[in-house]
Structures are given as structure tokens and as C-alpha cells.
């Protein structure tokens, strides 16, 4: 069993500067001293060198004997940050729902008229995206009322950006889905050479593909997806959105299916 440190009371008995000070005052003094020494350096000049040294020694000794204070403070900061991100994400889902679920330039799989929509942010060089790929396919193959919206989100280097541009350009030749499946099935990293090889094997006209890759339309799609991910606090791939829920990571078929079922059990989509 762990034992707590001697605490503020014991520390006060060791320090002439702190003797006779109540527990509450000691806590306040600790907070003021930390602010003065670490947060408000301009005000630290108001203390004598002796006072600053004793307060510094007191803070150090207290934190050494009570390290859980630092842990608890860090956990509180993380909880506050998480709550702030969740609030911002919830607001973005509501205000940007049309952009997320129903943009006219969306790449769609499954049933385009499905009553529930699952959005995926992915990168062709993301190993976890490829791990999740069979789960995504199982979802749309087994649920005929599910719409899949694919958001190209190239964040893993130049090869990912090139692959995304090539995939988006392949739409002009009506072969996006075929090309997408081939790249997701590729075992290994995709760079410019590999993306071109897969494009040729998919029957794409390479001259037209290269020209279409430079279009402003493709630039706009990539920029829009990056901005959407930023607004939704999505920092990695894969990331799924099912109605009001953002699901980061390759969570598996069961978790995705459960999220879709929950939407239906709650009366259907509120946003999607």
C-alpha cells in the first residue's frame, strides 16, 4: 500500500518562515509562490532573495514528497482539454453537417441513398486504414442501407499526397472505385512510382490522369478535407464519423456496426 508524504503540515514544522501558518494559508502560499516564481516572473522581484529561496525549497520539497500533485494537475489539464475539444467537435458537427455528410463532390460507396451515413477520413499510406479496410467493406456489403462517404486525407508525406491526387483525378475516367480498392489492397508504401503502376494496371489513361491531377478542383477537395479534419479535431487516420459520433482509429467491425445500430435505435440520423 502506498503511503502519502508528510504533507504541508510537516513541511511547515521544518521551516521557520512557515511556522505558525494554517493549512489553508499554506495551500494559498504554495499557489501564490508557484505563480510568482514560475508564472509571474515580474512579481517575483517583490520577494527578498531569502523568501524566494525558501519558497522555492518549499515547493520543491512538497512536490518531491507529493508527486501525485503534479500527476493530478496534468490529468486535470488533459480532462479540460478533452472537454474543450469535444465541445468544439460537437459544434462543428452541427454547423458543418452538410459539408461532412452531403457535399456534392463527396466520393460515395455503399448505397448512395442509404438512410445512415458513415464517413471515413483515410490516407493510402496509413497501415491502420488498410487494417480497417476489410471492416469498411464488410459494413457496406452487409448493410444495404448504409452510405459510405470517403474523405481523402493525405497526411503521411508526399507519396500520400500524390496518391490522393491520382485517385481524385481517376474520377474523370470513371475508375475511382476500382483504383481506390487497388491502392487500399496494396501491401507496402505507395509513392509516385507505385501509384502510377497501380493506375496503369487499373486501365487508366496516364496522360489524361497526369493532366487531371493538376486541376484546381482537386486542390479544393484536399484543402476542404484538411480544414474539415481540423475543425473536427481529427489528427490521424482512419477516423470515422457516424451521425453525431467521431470514432478515431481502426476500432473493428463490431464497434462500427454498433455505432450504426445505435443511430437507428435512436430514431435515425440527426445530422447524417
The per-residue pLDDT for range 91-119, each reduced to its tens digit, is 999 999 999 999 988 899 999 999 999 99
Rounded distance between C-alpha atoms, residue 124 and residue 247, angstroms: 19
C-alpha cell at 25: 494559508
| Structural domain includes residue 87 | no
Provide the pLDDT confidence category of residue 165 given band limits of 50, 70 and 90: very high
Per-residue confidence (pLDDT) for residue 256, from 0 to 100 = 98
pLDDT in tens, 233-245: 999 999 999 999 9
Are 46 and 150 within one domain? no
Rounded distance between C-alpha atoms, residue 240 and residue 242, angstroms: 7
Mean pLDDT is lowest, of 23-32, 174-183, 185-194, 253-262, for 23-32
Are 57 and 171 within one domain? no
Q: DSSP letters along 160-215, please?
A: HHHHHHHHHHGGGGT-HHHHHHHHHH--S---HHHHHHHHHHTT--HHHHHHHTT-
Domain end call among 66, 85, 107 = 66
Mean pLDDT is lowest, of 15-24, 136-145, 220-229, 255-264, for 15-24
Per-residue confidence (pLDDT) for residue 36, from 0 to 100 = 52
37 secondary structure, DSSP code: I
Three-state secondary structure call for residue 254 = helix
| Structural domain includes residue 24 | yes
Are 105 and 206 within one domain? yes
Give the percent of the chain with pLDDT over 70: 82
* Average pLDDT over every residue of 255-270: 97
On whether the CB atoms of residues 107 and 222 are closer than 8 A, the answer is: no
Count structural domains, the chain: 2
Per-residue confidence (pLDDT) for residue 153, from 0 to 100 = 97
Are 110 and 62 within one domain? no
C-alpha cell at 145: 442501407
Q: Is the pLDDT of residue 160 over 50?
A: yes
241 Rama class: left (phi>0) / alpha (psi -120 to 50) / beta: beta
Are 129 and 260 within one domain? yes
| Structural domain includes residue 14 | yes
Structural domain span for residue 18: 7-66
| Structural domain includes residue 82 | no
Are 111 and 244 within one domain? yes
Q: Is the pLDDT of residue 6 over 90?
A: no
Are 120 and 31 within one domain? no
Are 163 and 222 within one domain? yes
Q: Is the pLDDT of residue 200 over 70?
A: yes
Per-residue confidence (pLDDT) for residue 30, from 0 to 100 = 53
Cα 144 vs. chain centroid, distance in angstroms? 29
Is the whole-model pTM more than 0.75?
no
The CA–CA distances, whole Å, from 205 to 61, 139, 185, 216, 263 equal 71, 31, 21, 20, 42
Q: Which residues contact 44 (CB under 8 A, 6 or more apart)?
A: 36, 37, 52
| Structural domain includes residue 25 | yes
* Average pLDDT over every residue of 175-182: 97
| Structural domain includes residue 249 | yes
Mean pLDDT is lowest, of 70-79, 148-157, 258-267, for 70-79
Per-residue confidence (pLDDT) for residue 211, from 0 to 100 = 97
Provide the pLDDT confidence category of residue 66 given band limits of 50, 70 and 90: confident
Q: Which residues contact 268 (CB under 8 A, 6 or more apart)?
A: 115, 116
Per-residue confidence (pLDDT) for residue 13, from 0 to 100 = 38
The whole-chain average pLDDT of the chain stands at 85
Are 128 and 240 within one domain? yes
Are 139 and 39 within one domain? no
Are 136 and 244 within one domain? yes
Per-residue confidence (pLDDT) for residue 31, from 0 to 100 = 55
Q: Tell me, what CATH number does 143's domain have? A: 3.40.30.10
Are 138 and 230 within one domain? yes
Identify the CA nearest to 150 among candidates 169, 177, 172.
177
| Structural domain includes residue 71 | no
Mean pLDDT is lowest, of 31-35, 187-191, 225-229, 259-263, for 31-35
Domain end call among 21, 46, 66 = 66
| Structural domain includes residue 114 | yes
By CB atoms closer than 10 A (0-12, 13-18, 19+), residue 232 is buried
Q: Is the model more confident about 187 or about 31?
A: 187
Amino acid at each position: 500500500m502506498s503511503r502519502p508524504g508528510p504533507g504541508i503540515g510537516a513541511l511547515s514544522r521544518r521551516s521557520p518562515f512557515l511556522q505558525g501558518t494554517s493549512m489553508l494559508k499554506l495551500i494559498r502560499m504554495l499557489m501564490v509562490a508557484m505563480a510568482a516564481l514560475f508564472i509571474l516572473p515580474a512579481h517575483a522581484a517583490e520577494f527578498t532573495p531569502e523568501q524566494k529561496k525558501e519558497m522555492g525549497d518549499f515547493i520543491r520539497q512538497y512536490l518531491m514528497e507529493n508527486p501525485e500533485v503534479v500527476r493530478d494537475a496534468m490529468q486535470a489539464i488533459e480532462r479540460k482539454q478533452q472537454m474543450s475539444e469535444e465541445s468544439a467537435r460537437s459544434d462543428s458537427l452541427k454547423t458543418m453537417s452538410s459539408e461532412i455528410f452531403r457535399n456534392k463532390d463527396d466520393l460515395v460507396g455503399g448505397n448512395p441513398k442509404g438512410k445512415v451515413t458513415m464517413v471515413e477520413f483515410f490516407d493510402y499510406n496509413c497501415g491502420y486504414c488498410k487494417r480497417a479496410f476489410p471492416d469498411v467493406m464488410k459494413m457496406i456489403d452487409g448493410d444495404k442501407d448504409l452510405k459510405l462517404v470517403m474523405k481523402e486525407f493525405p497526411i503521411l508525406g508526399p507519396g500520400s499526397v500524390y496518391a490522393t491526387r491520382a485517385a481524385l483525378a481517376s474520377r474523370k475516367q470513371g475508375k475511382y472505385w476500382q483504383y481506390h480498392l487497388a491502392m487500399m489492397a496494396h501491401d507496402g508504401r505507395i509513392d509516385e512510382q507505385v501509384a502510377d503502376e497501380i493506375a496503369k494496371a487499373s486501365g487508366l489513361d496516364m496522360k489524361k490522369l497526369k493532366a487531371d491531377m493538376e486541376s484546381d478542383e482537386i486542390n479544393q477537395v484536399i484543402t476542404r478535407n484538411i480544414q474539415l479534419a481540423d475543425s473536427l479535431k481529427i489528427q490521424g487516420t482512419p477516423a470515422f464519423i457516424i451521425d453525431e459520433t467521431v470514432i478515431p482509429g481502426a476500432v473493428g467491425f463490431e464497434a462500427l456496426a454498433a455505432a450504426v445500430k445505435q443511430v437507428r435505435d435512436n430514431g435515425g440520423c440527426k445530422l447524417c
